[in-house]
Structure 1
Amino acid sequence: MSEHELLGAGLGALIGAILALTGAGGGILAVPLLVFGLGLSMVEAGPVGLLAVGLAAGVGAVLGLRQGLVRYRAALFVAAIGIVAAPFGLFLAHQLPNAPLALGFACVLVYACARMWRKASRELKGIAPCAERAIQPCVLNPLQGRLRWTLPCARALAFTGLLSGLLSGLLGVGGGFVIIPALSRYTNLEMKSIVATSLAVIALVSTGSVVTASLSGVMHWAVGVPFALGAVIGLVVARQFAQHLAGPRLQQVFAIVGVGAALLLAFNTLTH
Structure 2
Amino acid sequence: MSDIQAVVGAEAQELGDGRTLSNRELLRALLRKPQFVVCSLLLLLFFLMAAVPKLFTSVDPRFCELTKSRQGRSPGHLFGYDIQGCDYFANVVYGARPSVLVSICASFGVFLLAGSFGLLAGYFPGFVDGLISRTADVLFAIPGIVVLIVILNSVQDRSIWIIVGVILLIGWPGGMRLMRATVFSVRNREYVLAARSIGVPPLRILRKHVFPNAMAPLLAMTTLGIGGMVGLEAALTFLGVGLQPPAISWGSQFGVAASYRDTPHLFIWPALFISTMTISFMIIGDSIRDALDPKLLR
Superposition TM-score, scaled by structure 1 size: 0.28
Structure showing greater Rg: 2
Higher helix share: 1
Q: TM-score scaled to structure 2, two decimals?
A: 0.26
Q: Which has the higher contact order (CA 8 A, sep 6+)?
A: 1
